[in-house]
Structure 1
Amino acid sequence: MTHIRNIYCIGLNYVKHAAEMGNRVPEEPLIFSKPTHSFVKTDGNPIELPADKGEIHFETEIVLYIDKKPDPEFKVEDVVGKIALGIDFTLREVQTKLKQNGQPWLRAKGFKNAAVVTDFWDYPGTDICRNTEFSLVKNNETVQQGKAENMIFDFHELIKECDENFGLDQGDLIFTGTPEGVGKTEDGDEFILIWDGKEKGRFVTNLK
């Protein structure tokens, strides 16, 4: 089991996703966090999500596993030891209400099992990550596709921003943002996370 410390997440890091959410493109990384109790692996078991808090939306992302504390002259390859695919589940109606009231997003983003992650694999290098397509299949239909080359802020910028503002060390995760295509999750949905045409994890939702 990979040791997990802090979970940092990046919002609105793809132009088309910002557009579909009706938001302006951010001028600096939009960072929020999730508690470690929101972390859950795609181990083949159903993943429980709340059924009584309005719509739950899926957001598929590349997840970086920090293996070493960055130094001032760091390279991504020196800091990131592994990557995975993940889903940032969001209570959309709760988030909308929190935004309207100028309140933090924690209740919408940090609930139990809100940070779903596949098994990690060795970091293949920044160029490969930039040019490799990842996708989410929901009930046999591809609903999201993306490449890191389309991010507004790249891996280096995200690592630097998180480290300078909050600190990074071994065991920290960064959810790097989702491409367009986010949507509603229903009870019994089957999700498959794909990297370069290969399945990296799957699970079924259980709304309770």
Structure 2
Amino acid sequence: MDYAIAPPAVPSLPVQGSALRFPVRRIFCIGRNYAEHAKEMGATVEPGRPMFFCKPADAVVADDADVPYPSATNELHHEVEMVLALGAGGRDVPVEHAASLVWGVGVGLDLTRRDLQAQAKAKGHPWDVAKAFDHSAPVSALRRLDGALPGPDTELRLSVNGALRQQARLGEMIHDVPHILAALSALFELKPGDLVFTGTPAGVAALSRGDRFHAALAGYAELDGRIA
């Protein structure tokens, strides 16, 4: 097929222990999935109604590359999250089958222009400019799963310049992985290559130019980077 312009490169992530790359199709995110984070943001939680938003696939920052400080903000905030990489998809996937869609896991940051998000919330506007900007999704190398998902005692944490900022266990999530994927598949047809950010715990705060961060999903994935 001939294109009018050169087609864009496919965003991808490294795979632990392999020279293969995982191609990224879409990025879905769930908001307010840890009660303490919702509380610190002054938001209410609706357990039966998960809230989703999206980032573009090319917002991914891979291979521990530097993250450019974004334009139009003075409040770039970190939100550490477990990231699911889907190897299968479907529509209206039953909860009991949803975990089988997951190919692997990683850890990532849902970077947020918090001042722009606050302005959008105040006016009832969408969050796109606050969440879906360039380089807003640093993600670690992915670990392929050969069996069960990370358990509820698995620790998620983030340190900035060596100081612990965020720490929680996956069992603190309001919506667990099967329910996240089942709910998403009722709204979108999920497909291989999709990434799903599963929400952030309390402790979100600002990042400055020159800051170095270390994120970990204990026993599964680690991510290092610098705000350039």
Superposition TM-score, scaled by structure 1 size:
0.92
Q: 2:137 matched to 1:115?
A: yes
Q: Please tell me whether the aligned partners of residues 99 and 177 of structure 2 are also in contact (alpha carbons under 8 angstroms).
A: no
Residue of structure 1 in register with 2:18 after alignment: none
Residue of structure 2 in register with 1:5 after alignment: 25
Structure 1 or 2: more strand by fraction = 1
Aligned equivalent of 2:187, options 165, 172, 180 = 165
Go from structure 1 to structure 2 and tell me whether the alpha carbon gap of 1:197 and 1:121 turns closer, same or farther (over 3 Å shift). closer
Q: Secondary structure at the match of 1:2?
A: strand
Q: 2:21 matched to 1:14?
A: no
Go from structure 1 to structure 2 and tell me whether the alpha carbon gap of 1:66 and 1:44 turns closer, same or farther (over 3 Å shift). closer
Residue of structure 1 in register with 2:126 after alignment: 104
Q: Please tell me whether the aligned partners of residues 84 and 119 of structure 1 are also in contact (alpha carbons under 8 angstroms).
A: yes
Runs of 5+ unmatched residues, structure 1? none
Equivalent residue runs for 1:129-168 within 5 Å? 129-168=151-190
Residue of structure 2 in register with 1:40 after alignment: 61
Superposition TM-score, scaled by structure 2 size:
0.84
Q: Give the counterpart letter for 1:125 in structure 2.
A: A
Distance of 2:95 and 2:216 partners within structure 1: 33
Aligned equivalent of 1:31, options 34, 52, 76 = 52
Instruction: State percent identity of aligned pairs.
Output: 33
Q: Secondary structure at the match of 1:48?
A: coil
Which moved further from structure 2: 135-144 or 197-206? 197-206
After TM superposition, give the deviation of residue 51 of structure 1 in Å: 4.7
Q: Please tell me whether the aligned partners of residues 54 and 94 of structure 1 are also in contact (alpha carbons under 8 angstroms).
A: no
Residue of structure 2 in register with 1:88 after alignment: 110
Larger radius of gyration: 2
- The C-alpha deviation readout for 1:27-56, integer Å capped at 9, x for no partner, is 311100011121111x23321121542201
